[in-house]
Amino acid sequence: MDKSSLVYPMFVKAGENIEEEIPTMPGQFRYSVDRMPKLLYELMDAGVTSVMLFGIPDHKDEVGSGAYACDGIVQTALEKAKKEVPELYCIGDVCMCEYTSHGHCGILKDTYVDNDLTLEKLAQIAVSQVQAGADMVAPSDMMDGHIRAIREALDQKGFITTPIMSYAVKYASAFYGPFRDAAGSAPSFGDRKSYQMDYHNRREAMKEALLDIQEGADIIMVKPAMSYLDLVREIKDATQVPMAAYSVSGEYAMVKAGAKLGYIDEAAILCEMAAGAYRAGTDIYMTYYAKEIAHYMDEGRIG
């Protein structure tokens, strides 16, 4: 366990002078680009040197055009972050749900998400983020063939050294609830079960991971973390790529709520959750508690 393996997920919002607390994630905020640097310096001071950026645009449309606009919210935030804190490692979340008026992660055809139509858009998002300064892209859309589409597009633009971290093993999970409040990205109809996985299914996780590796994924992520650590271990043992585990918004919210009520010891619980993820084999731990965990690592409480 090392601070360099922590990634902090953060929300950037279109507008100015915004620093608003997310009601279902107390202690987490949405920042406008002008207010973001303060947080970035705090992270660097704590020894957390990697962030993952999620965007909250000022308008949404059917085709999620804000996701791949060169002046989109994530692109603008990436430019600012790399200018202010060049040593910060910036990861762009590649998905459409925060940008589409219907809240789905891809382009709709009638009432379902059209996998292949979406691939072209995902490739555009990835390219626009890397052009804006992203060091790595992380597709969370769960479309089939997405890694190949993104890899080809990045290579074509000359970004041959930019890695891809695939959310290959992403389950349709109630643990994303607070994130959807934070990002305003809940689907307006239906659910995500045609692209995210059924949590009863273990073997499909391996299929997804192997396909994405074949297509060129450099890192495989399992998400959520806490209830899915069996898959971190299984995929780690079966493959040669680094593993990432994402302790998602619902995990954060539960710990915060329990701590607020005085039912649990927040510090002890989050150290135990982190250690569990690393013990399962994760190499990269994405968590809203990154700053706190870094601090406990410094204190020698975990490590």
**Residues in the site for ligand PBG, rule: CB under 6 A?**
93, 95, 97, 105, 140, 176, 179-180, 248-249
CB 130 within 8 A of CB 162: yes
Q: Which is nearer to ligand PBG, 24 or 84 (CB)?
A: 24
Distance CA 20, CA 276 (A): 31
Least separation in angstroms between CB 86 and ligand PBG: 26
Least separation in angstroms between CB 169 and ligand PBG: 13
Q: Which is nearer to ligand PBG, 33 or 122 (CB)?
A: 122
Q: Is 302 helix (H, G, I), strand (E, B) or coil?
A: coil
Q: Which is nearer to ligand PBG, 157 or 173 (CB)?
A: 173
Least separation in angstroms between CB 1 and ligand PBG: 21
- Does the annotation count 3 as an active-site position? no
Ramachandran angles phi, psi of 175, nearest 5°: -70, -10
Q: Which is nearer to ligand PBG, 179 or 296 (CB)?
A: 179
The single residue of 60, 80, 223, 236 carrying the catalytic annotation is 223
Q: Residue 200 burial (CB < 10 Å; 0-12/13-18/19+)?
A: exposed
Q: Which is nearer to ligand PBG, 224 or 281 (CB)?
A: 224
Please give the structure tokens belonging to residue 85.
């804190």
Residue 201 region, left (φ>0) first, then alpha (ψ -120 to 50), else beta? beta
Distance CA 223, CA 275 (A): 16
Report DSSP state, residue 144.
T
The single residue of 13, 80, 121, 170 carrying the catalytic annotation is 170
Least separation in angstroms between CB 180 and ligand PBG: 6
Least separation in angstroms between CB 93 and ligand PBG: 6
Q: Which is nearer to ligand PBG, 105 or 245 (CB)?
A: 105
The string over 270-287, giving b where at least 16 C-beta atoms fall within 10 Å of a residue's C-beta and e elsewhere, is: bbebbebbbebbbbbbbb
- Does the annotation count 193 as an active-site position? no
Distance CA 160, CA 295 (A): 35
Which DSSP string corresponds to 31-94?
EEGGGHHHHHHHHHHHT--EEEEEEE-S--BTT-GGGT-TTSHHHHHHHHHHHH-TTSEEEEEE
Nearest residue to ligand PBG by CB is: 179
Q: Is 116 helix (H, G, I), strand (E, B) or coil?
A: helix
Active site residues: 170, 223
